[in-house]
Amino acid sequence: MDFGALFSSVASKVFGGTSAGSAKVEPELVHIATEAIVEAVDPRVRVISGYQRKIEPGVVRTILHMRELAKELPHQPIELSRAAWGGDPQLNAFFATAADVPAALGRSAQLRAYFESPANVGAAHVYALLGMLKIEREVFAPALVDGVLRHDVAQTTVSFTNHALVAPAPDVMACRREVGVLIFKRLAALALERITSLGERATELEQRKAMIGARLRLLKLKREGIEQVAGGGDESAEIASIERELKATADEFSETRVRLATLNTRLEHVNAIFNVPADYVSLEKIDLCVNKMGFKLAAGSSEPASNLKLSVLSIGDGLKAVIAFVRCQRADMPPRESMLAKVAREML
């Protein structure tokens, strides 16, 4: 069984099964999750004696953390359609215009693939996770201050961009499970990135060692060469400095190469992620008050506004998105654009 199927089995229990929210982690679930992680990161880890025993404590912590996160995921899906844009405060905030909604649907390769699959030929709708970036900018704009209109009031605009639709599924529960699979895969990818980074560092050190060695040989050739008859300088101090640098680089390269070749290092990187899952995946709830123009308002403002409760998912460094479960109708999907039409539009 590949790691995708294994992660799916784990996610079904953690994000949608009857044990969701339980404080007890079944040994079988821990075993499946452990094997999924090992299969995704490096199957060779299995040759390490007692690898499961060494990984399982972190796996248990991760499953418990994921169960708590699953309880905080948005519950009520919103209708993602052009028609719903005007009457839904969330959609109105997420998309600048009604036309942006079908545009986002049409850009989703996962959504289109779902509807075009022979298995879903009769599906009228699909559930998916909508993710987007929240952008806040400080601007000066007109505003009422103590009943007086001023034209240079510092305000904050809130907009949402980079809309993406992932984890399409026939119902909300299945969509939640698919999101769980993606989160587990992302954590495994973070562990693999650490291992890959170690390999890149080894390559960098090897190249640096070669360059320093070439520089050292050049200086020695010059010191012993015919340049001396013309009063060439003394390179002894620079040679000594480069020799020290070469030794330090060679030592680090040797250490890095040994660590890279050791399977225990891969296991250490797995534990570095899964032992502290809260450091790498979290869900934050944010209250946001915005008016129809997209200006952020203070809590308790008398100005007409929408009070939004946002869910912000963070996974690893730099990956943070506002998320919401949505229902998308096949009828709202724009037709696939032909390549000729796309080229013609882009040339305008």
pLDDT of res. 112:
94
The torsion region of residue 233 among left (phi > 0), alpha (psi -120 to 50) and beta comes to beta
Does the global pTM surpass 0.85? no
The span from the CA of 281 to the CA of 180, in Å, is 11
Q: How many domains does the chain have?
A: 3
Instruction: Examine the domain organization and report whether 234 and 96 are in the same domain.
Output: no
Instruction: Examine the domain organization and report whether 153 and 286 are in the same domain.
Output: yes
The span from the CA of 287 to the CA of 310, in Å, is 6
- Residue 176 belongs to some domain of the structure: no
pLDDT tens digits, one per residue of 54-107: 999 999 999 999 999 999 999 889 999 999 998 899 999 999 999 999 999 999
- Residue 346 belongs to some domain of the structure: no
Instruction: Examine the domain organization and report whether 93 and 161 are in the same domain.
Output: yes
Domain termination residue (choose one: 227, 257, 272): 272
Helix (H) or strand (E) holding 25: none
Assigned token pair, 27: 């040994």
- Indicate whether 43 pLDDT > 60: yes
- Residue 342 belongs to some domain of the structure: no
Q: Is 240 helix (H, G, I), strand (E, B) or coil?
A: helix
pLDDT of res. 339:
41
- Residue 348 belongs to some domain of the structure: no
Helix, strand, coil share of the chain (percent; to 5): 55, 20, 25
- Indicate whether 174 pLDDT > 90: yes
Instruction: Examine the domain organization and report whether 279 and 308 are in the same domain.
Output: yes
Instruction: Examine the domain organization and report whether 108 and 148 are in the same domain.
Output: yes
How is 247-279 classified by DSSP, letter by letter?
HHHHHHHHHHHHHHH-HHHHHHHHHHHHTSGGG
Q: What is the 3-state secondary structure (H, E, C) of 38-74?
A: HHHHCHHHHHCCCHHHHHHHHHHHHHHHHHHHHHHCC
Domain termination residue (choose one: 221, 253, 272): 272
Instruction: Examine the domain organization and report whether 283 and 320 are in the same domain.
Output: yes
For 217, the domain range is: 193-272
- Residue 198 belongs to some domain of the structure: yes
Residue carrying the six token digits 């049409």: 106
pLDDT tens digits, one per residue of 277-320: 999 999 999 998 888 777 888 766 767 778 889 999 998 877 89
Instruction: Examine the domain organization and report whether 85 and 60 are in the same domain.
Output: no
Domain termination residue (choose one: 272, 295, 327): 272
